[in-house]
A and B are shown apart, each in its own frame.
Chain A
Amino acid sequence: MSRLATTFTELEKTGRKALIPFITAGDPHPEFTVPMMHAMVEAGVNVIELGVPFSDPMADGPVIQRASERALAHKMSLRKTLAVAAEFRKTNQTTPVVIMGYLNPIEAMGYEAFANAAQAADIDGVLTVDLPPEEAAECTALLKARGIDPIFLLAPNSTDERIEKMNTLGSGYLYYVSLKGVTGAGHLNTADVEQKLHQIKARTNLPVGIGFGVKDADMAKAVAALGDGVVVGSALISKVEANLDNPERAKQEICELLSAMRLAMDSVGA
């Protein structure tokens, strides 16, 4: 069983939901990332999505775009992101790490070389924003053969047919993009999300993480009640951006927000 499957199974046993932070590797500095990951685990997160910076992040809003630019200014890359994950894994054997990014860095490395490198770094899942099922067969097969979960996106306008397609091709969890837009945009509408989750849950047994637009503990609590996990990205990266001169304070503020989300989410049933 993959670390992702184990994590979601364990959470389900205790009636809790996964808290899934997204940070961009190398932002604001490559040395910041591994300590940040450990601190987030301390704050109660269950899965870490590690963003690979890309020059043209088409699906991302301004906050994550700027995070990419800051990381690239330090020559962060897919290779170095995998090295960060491997470093984290030396002292944490249980928290799943998902690499999230765009296809071109993987194309440049070569699919097989990437799959091997991801396996060597003990990566648990790979989410490639611009690789829909239509084009994903080759890459997905290479990842699955190495025990790595390919994570797919679902959107508010995804049809039944597509949900079934993602269910077949994906593993680990499905990532529901809760609004039409880029990362960090607007506020999600919980009634809309609830309705869509009914449609999705009727067609898959995979856990569903919900993201895009989760900004605070109240929102995290509301969203946690609808799915199996809550993804939070831009709200965390905003704290990095607000404290560029003081990464320690950024880390502290991020962990405070995550702890508050954890607390709120765990009080769902209460």
Chain B
Amino acid sequence: MTEKYNMPDARGHFGPYGGLFVAETLIPPIQELNAAYQQYMSDPEFIAELDADLQHYVGRPSPLYYAERWSRELGGAQIYLKREDLNHTGSHKINNTVGQALLAKRMGKTRIIAETGAGQHGVATATVAARLGLECVVYMGAVDVARQSLNVYRMKLLGATVVAVESGSKTLKDALNEALRDWVTNVDNTFYIIGTVAGPHPYPAMVRDFQAIIGREAKQQCLAQTGRLPDALVACVGGGSNAIGLFYPFINDESVKLIGVEAAGDGVETGRHSAPLCAGKPGVLHGNRTYLMSDEDGEVIETHSISAGLDYPGVGPEHAWLKDTGRAQYVNITDTEALEGFHALTRMEGIIPALESAHAMAYTMKLAPTMRKDEIIIINLSGRGDKDMQTMAKREGIEL
């Protein structure tokens, strides 16, 4: 890559991906949002307020932690963890909700809506809504409500209304459909905080920009601690917000490999997975063109992953572009492998990762031994595993 990376274009396209595929009623509020986003991202006062919130409310910068024992055990590259699990509310999702909530406030919106899969984005949204005194409604697939009941309770404690979505596959994609239906009905007073780098333009770029603090910090911290850039970045990819947040500030650093890890569920060959970049084809869903899991008639296929946060048939359009251009590489990890990653990090480093992040851990267990000891991997530890205790216990036949 000889030219400086400069995506998306003015109309929100990453090559053939991204764009603005929504019904007419949503065009005016999206134009309003885009104008506000362009204005405030270059407004020093807004940036100062955002930075202060990230420092004092979220708890940034998050540490870059050298996993010395695990690195030694794996016998290859040196492994560093970007500790997004230590953020307020327990994942990287808060970086984006703090930013979008400040935008909502500037735009005079009084009502916040969000979709959520694992519940991390829902909790992060309910949190900022509580802090700003805004009404908050979170849409969550009924299947996810059942498997992430702890996060449902957290959202309710924070004052949010949680709506269990019973349509379609009752997971994240259906929650997004329902949130879009709410938005189209309440466009005048409502701000839709999308939690991932998908949706219509400007969401993929805007969410990336709010999450890019992960990569900016990681780069500085890596240089400070090791005196050099990392050789590889590894992050799990559902919609892809934690991955793009880590990758983006390194895109022009060609020596740094970018590796996104999708959820293979029962295995990509079984069809029961959530790996559109590895096994899907381009299509249009939720406002953008991207890699998508759909059948030959263009109907979206039901997905599967042990981690609710990765259980989504699409992926952010920028990842689609990074895949096609070869700048990033996308691999996949099964449920069973993810559990190995989960246990390994827990027992080796005393850190319990979210099941989503465990996919990145599991791939690193394959990757690190193939690399030299003087090479460096940074993994995005995007969230902590507290929310997954019930899922883990059930899987292992333990009653809590």
- Chain A contact residues, CB within 8 Å of chain B: 54-62, 65, 69, 72, 77-79, 102-109, 129-132, 134-135, 152-159, 162, 177, 180-182, 185
Contact = CB atoms under 8 A, between A and B. Distances in A.
Contacts of B187: 157, 180
Contacts of A62: 167
Contacts of B300: 55-56, 104
A79 B24 contact: no
Chain B interface size band reads: 35 or more
Interface stretch (B60-68, B290-298, B345-353): B290-298
Interface string B21-53: 111110111000000000000000000000000
B167 A105 contact: no
A104 B25 CA distance: 19
A69 B282 CA distance: 23
Given A72-B299, A104-B292, A58 B180 contact: yes
B24 A155 contact: yes
A157 B25 contact: yes
B152 to A, nearest CB: 22
A261 to B, nearest CB: 25
Interface of B: 11, 19-25, 27-29, 167-168, 173-174, 177, 180-181, 184-188, 282-287, 289, 292, 294-300
A56 B29 CA distance: 21
Main secondary structure, interface of B, reads: mixed
Given A56-B168, A103-B21, 8 more contacts: A55-B168, A56-B173, A77-B299, A108-B295, A109-B298, A132-B20, A132-B21, A156-B25
B21 A105 contact: no
B167 A130 contact: no
A107 B289 CA distance: 10
Contacts of B19: 134-135
Nearest to B174: A56
Interface centre among B25, B177, B188, B300 (most CB of A within 10 A): B25
A78 B297 contact: yes
Nearest to B281: A108
B184 A180 contact: yes
A270 B187 CA distance: 39
Contacts of B27: 132, 134, 155, 158, 162
A159 B27 CA distance: 10
Contacts of A155: 23-25, 27-28
A156 B185 CA distance: 11
